[in-house]
Amino acid sequence: MQCSDLERDLESLVDGELLASDRLQHERHLGECQGCHRLVQARRELRKSLREAVNAPAPNALRAKVAQRLDAEDQSKVEPPESWLSRLWQQPAVMLLAGAVAGLLLMPALRSSQTERPVRPIVVDAMISRHQLPLPLDVTGEPEKVRSWFAGKVPFMVPAPQLEPVAVLQGGRLADLGDREAVLLRYQQSGQPISVFVFDPQGLDLKARRTMIGNREILLPDGRGYQVAVFRDRGLGYAVTSTLNEPEFLKVISAMVSGH
């Protein structure tokens, strides 16, 4: 794959619309090409900034201007209610201002309906998508070897938890969780893969079912048929997913928590 191929498919890649086979080729290229990796990260940051801008509240200055203009029209002359309303609504400026007021009044309701709509967090979608792909590993071997390989490659320390005999570490690779840089550690239990993502959890706010394992709070988001768990430890975020049944999956989480 060439850089031009990735640039051609950039929007589809960021939107998660590529077929699994195509995405695998792009993921391999991103693991080898830092320029394209930075390009994809920049586009994801742009998408994130645009989403945040859409949710920005209307300026107070606009609210005050609308109120002042309506007050001025109200005091300009005293007429019968029917005549005053008729003239007021016929003025283009007032109609525009009234539209702005209506928009301001509707914004809370629209935001409420968007908030209440069940939307799976981008982190969860991304981790499941990466777990589904047979991504090649950048490093294999013992936990210490895997841990040292990532030193200097990501802006955080990467522990490689020893989970034996519950699960065996296969290796790891550089990855991402939507707009977050991450490391993917691949484990295996009885032939079934377990993906453990390590990332910076700053700003992450997941609404999900919660449980306590040991003294650690574990979030259990909806994983569309996959087992998913997210927790924090010593400033790092951990996101784990697998197709194991729930009891076996929770044994893996318990082993991770007790090992920290």
Q: Which residue has the tokens 């801008």?
A: 53
Strand partners, 168: 188
Q: In this predicted model, what pLDDT tens digit does every residue of 99-150 receive, in sequence order?
A: 544 554 445 544 444 444 344 678 888 888 889 888 899 999 999 999 999 9
Q: What is the pLDDT of residue 212?
A: 93
Q: What is the pLDDT of residue 144?
A: 93
Q: In this predicted model, what pLDDT tens digit does every residue of 35-69 receive, in sequence order?
A: 888 888 888 777 777 666 655 565 666 667 666 77
Q: Using a pLDDT cut of 90, give the percent of the chain over it.
A: 34
CA dihedral 81, 86, 89, 94 (to 10 degrees): -60
Q: What is the pLDDT of residue 76?
A: 61
For range 9-35, the mean pLDDT: 77
Q: In this predicted model, what pLDDT tens digit does every residue of 67-110 receive, in sequence order?
A: 677 667 666 654 455 554 555 445 555 454 555 445 544 455 44
The chain-wide mean pLDDT, for the chain, equals 78
CB 240 within 8 A of CB 256: yes
Q: Which of the pair, 222 or 187, is modelled with greater confidence?
A: 187
Q: Using a pLDDT cut of 70, give the percent of the chain over it.
A: 71
**Which DSSP category does 137 fall into?**
P
CA distance 32 to 35: 9
User: Nearest to residue 172, comparing CAs of 161, 164, 98?
Assistant: 161
Q: What is the pLDDT of residue 57?
A: 60
For range 183-191, the mean pLDDT: 94
User: Nearest to residue 42, comparing CAs of 19, 13, 67?
Assistant: 13
Q: Which residue has the tokens 């090409």?
A: 33
